Structure 1
């Protein structure tokens, strides 16, 4: 890989080869609160989905898997020309857990996974790389919003069975509460897009001064 990030060389705990880390981008939801696919909302000249996928690719964290479910036929064109693999969560109506399970099944042979959401537009490639810089085998690394921790997160493969056991729409937050976590500051994690008001606030120009 050309231009490997600084964290790469440090992750060689299993002989001469660095860790095999995958990225799972969750984008399977139906955006019920918004009333239209949030994945297609424009942000900085791209859809939220393409913006997130491009960020994951630019970070060079590992192979990028995009989990789709609802609206998949409308979302696939947003990923054209990006070096990602599309995974389909057949049980997507169940909630986020179904997407996580589909992603983990797809990357079962990896040493760790970085999980990110398509509705956190302030995630940067630098933040993703900072999460991996904190990663060590056996740990969870989460983003610290100040009053809470959450995605993007990195999970060692030791937690894959627990991720596969998740059900419903709670995602992996239960694991973050159950297990000790390393964290990386990410104030922008407070910004996500669940409603039209959220998107309008995101799209509004910043007042001068």
Structure 2
């Protein structure tokens, strides 16, 4: 498998959910720790975790793992600031960058490995959810990473592929189109057995 670094975005405030979704649990393990373990299983050179609103609790949930924790002081401004913060922590790395969030309960190690196994030849590899769009997890080329510092607000990664002549490679994983942003989505995840009941 190709050498890479990894970035876990875990700074969101979960305002619509009303509680930190990073601390929901799967099999008794906090979701943020579960995802960090999946990333570590791909053997990245470095794994940076960007924290924000629930920093202390997330730090505790990740105790003992080989991760670099970085606090985004501007996390309330949106995902772009977390991407910039995490990318700065990896300064000097010229490796492809595997990026995930902490709210996709169906994410598996296999999803991450499929991205890494693509013969990308310098292109980005992103996840397609089907009609629901596309997004994380993604594998960013070093060239694309150079544009991260220009991102602003809550635009996130999609802005990176606007006005570019190199289309990313898409890997289909419709199950990853489900994430947890609202109480209704949390209820659905619990009913499906993806997230533990309180």
Q: Is the structural similarity TM-score above 0.5? A: yes
What is residue 58 of structure 1 aligned with on the other side? 41
Q: 1:108: how far off?
A: 2.2
TM-score (structure 2 length as normaliser): 0.89
| Aligned equivalents of 2:122, 2:61: Cα separation in 1 | 35
Runs of 5+ in structure 1 lacking a partner? 1-6, 9-18
TM-score (structure 1 length as normaliser): 0.85
Deviates more, 1:132-141 or 1:28-37: 132-141
Change (3 A) 1:100 1:55: same
| Aligned equivalents of 1:200, 1:77: Cα separation in 2 | 25
Q: Could you say what secondary structure the match of 1:54 adopts?
A: helix
The two structures, once aligned, show a CA RMSD in angstroms of: 1.6
Q: How many residues align?
A: 189
1:25 aligns with 2:8: yes
1:116–1:151: 8 Å Cα contact kept in structure 2? yes
Q: Could you say what secondary structure the match of 1:145 adopts?
A: strand
RCO (CA 8 Å, sep 6+): is it higher in 1 or 2? 2
1:142 aligns with 2:126: yes
What is residue 137 of structure 2 aligned with on the other side? 152
Deviation string 1:106-162 (CA, Å, 9 cap, x unpaired) is: 112222211100001211111111101115343110011112221100111111232
Change (3 A) 1:141 1:71: same
What is residue 202 of structure 1 aligned with on the other side? 189
Q: 1:203: how far off?
A: 1.1
Correspondent of 1:172 among 157, 162, 173: 157
Deviation string 1:137-194 (CA, Å, 9 cap, x unpaired) is: 4311001111222110011111123211101012111223444010111111111010
1:91–1:98: 8 Å Cα contact kept in structure 2? yes
Runs of 5+ in structure 2 lacking a partner? 194-198
Q: Highest CA radius of gyration, 1 or 2?
A: 1
Deviation string 1:13-34 (CA, Å, 9 cap, x unpaired) is: xxxxxx4x21100000111111
| Aligned equivalents of 2:119, 2:75: Cα separation in 1 | 29
